[in-house]
Amino acid sequence: MSSDGYRAMPDSIIKNLPFLLAGLRLTAEISVLSIIGGSALGVAIGIVRYARAPVLAQLFDVYVEFVRGTPLLVVLFICYFGFPALFGYQTSAYSAAILGFILFIAAYLAEDIRSGLRSVPGSLVQAALALGLTRAQVICFVVVPIALRNVIPTLFNQYVRLFKFTSVASVIGVNELTGSAMLINAREFAPFSIIAFLALTYLVFCLAISSLGRLIYSRLAIRA
């Protein structure tokens, strides 16, 4: 690609590598924090909806439906502009993005976890109840461990999705990988090499997350 104005390939990347790596570190940081937070919230919501705890379950039903019908970008805008205005607090783009990602991905994870919980055979639940476990114990020690091991592949699909979606944080001004790459592009104007670098980096990390998921699943899967 040697159109006018496009520089030779690696130069612009190598020169700015420290800046790009700082962006990558931020992307990793946001992903890890959001995955941990989102999974915790998702499991909690999934269990509450599975157990049909009164009021809370209905509340979370609305929450899940609402978030799953809303684009991520709008969720981020609500967390960055909406909530601070409504509740009168100050926030940074970074923490607003993490809050947004957690709220967003938790809704999807909750739905996956609930269907995992539902797929645990009823006979197991009855057997556990017959042994004298309370309803809470059955959920904690029988249903949840089995369900979580079964839904590992779906969870990792969502983690890959979340990792890709962290790029959207650049829109509200977080200089993670995509944000810093586009900043560099504004200065260097080497869009082909910079966007190719971006695409390749995301590709490698997404494939790595998927294979990590497959590895964990192959270790933990319950075989018949």
Partner 1 sequence: MSYKLDWAPIWNNRDLLVEGFLTTIALSASALMLALIIGVIVGTAGATHARGALRISSAAYVELMRNIPLLVHLYFWYVALAFLRLPPFMCAVFGLALYSGAYIAEVVRSGIGAVPQGQRLAALAIGLTPRQALLFVVYPQAFRIMTPSLASICSQLIKDSSLASVIAVAELTYQASAIEGQTFRTFEVYITISLLYLLLVSAVSYGLLLVPGARDVVGRIPSDA
Q: Which is nearer to partner 1, 39 or 185 (CB)?
A: 185
Q: Compute the least distance from the CB of residue 101 to partner 1, in Å.
A: 13
- Could you give the CA distance from residue 123 to residue 52 in angstroms, rounded to a whole number? 19
List all residues 6 or more positions away from 175 whose beta carbon is below 8 Å from its beta carbon. 23, 26, 183
Q: Which is nearer to partner 1, 128 or 158 (CB)?
A: 158
Return phi, psi of residue 189, to 5°. Answer: 50, 65
Q: Compute the least distance from the CB of residue 82 to partner 1, in Å.
A: 4
| Binding-site ranges for partner 1 (CB under 8 A) | 3, 5, 65-66, 68-74, 77-78, 81-83, 85-88, 108, 111, 115, 154, 157, 160, 164-168, 170-171, 178, 182, 185, 191-192, 195, 198-199, 202-203, 206-207
Q: Give the angle subtended at the CA of 27 by the CAs of 177 and 161, to the nearest 5°.
A: 100
Return phi, psi of residue 25, to 5°. Answer: -65, -40
Q: Which is nearer to partner 1, 63 or 133 (CB)?
A: 63
Of 188, 121, 113, 193, nearest to 155 (Cα)?
113
Q: Compute the least distance from the CB of residue 200 to partner 1, in Å.
A: 9
Q: Which is nearer to partner 1, 43 or 162 (CB)?
A: 162
Amino acid at 129: L
Q: Compute the least distance from the CB of residue 135 to partner 1, in Å.
A: 27
